[in-house]
């Protein structure tokens, strides 16, 4: 029954984003304020360019500290560019399997290169819970 579930029905439609040209300090503020462990990096046309995690931000801070430099740089200097993603109408079972195999807790959802959402393990668990309650 889960095989017939379309990912678009359960993804978060407004993932937290920053621009590649934003300061890392700006991205840190967004991460802290939004209480997320990372953000999707997009351009002004909402094309997915990468992700920036809390660990990426810590790496940026340590790099600046070690080099006695006050300019931390921009998101593009520290983001991960090679990012796995999934398609808008993917099957939730296939996405869950991929996330487990790759060790991802979340995946950006793209449609023709544009960021349209994000799916998380928590959202997938909600799908399973909903179907379990229907079966009971």
User: pLDDT at residue 126 above 90?
Assistant: no
- The CATH number assigned to the domain holding 52 equals 3.10.580.10
Reduced 3-state DSSP string for 43-92? CCCCEEEEEEEHHHHHHHHHHHHHCCCCCCCEHHHCCECCCCCEECCCEH
Q: Which residues pair with 107 in a beta bridge?
A: 119
Q: Read off the pLDDT of residues 9-48 as tens digits, 9 standing for 90 and up.
A: 889 999 999 999 999 999 999 999 999 989 999 999 999 9
Confidence of residue 50 (pLDDT cuts 50, 70, 90): very high
User: How many domains are there within the chain?
Assistant: 1
Q: Which H/E stretch holds residue 109?
A: strand 106-111
| 91 exposure class (CB count in 10 Å sphere: 0-12, 13-18, 19+) | middle
pTM of the model: 0.84
The boundaries of the domain holding residue 72 are: 2-135
- Find the Cα–Cα–Cα–Cα dihedral 96, 97, 100, 102, rounded to 10°: -110
């Amino acid at each position: 029954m889960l095989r017939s579930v379309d990912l678009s029905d359960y993804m978060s439609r407004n993932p937290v984003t920053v621009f590649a040209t934003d300061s890392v300090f700006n991205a840190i503020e967004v991460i802290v304020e939004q209480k997320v462990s990372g953000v999707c990096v997009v351009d002004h046309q909402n094309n997915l360019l990468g992700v920036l995690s809390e660990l990426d931000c810590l790496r940026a801070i340590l790099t600046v500290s070690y080099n006695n430099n006050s300019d931390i740089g921009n998101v593009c200097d520290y983001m991960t560019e090679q990012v796995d993603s999934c398609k808008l109408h993917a099957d939730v079972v296939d996405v869950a399997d991929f996330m487990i195999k790759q060790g991802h807790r979340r995946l950006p959802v793209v449609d023709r290169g544009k960021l349209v959402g994000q799916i998380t393990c928590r959202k997938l668990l909600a799908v399973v819970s909903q179907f379990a309650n229907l079966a009971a």
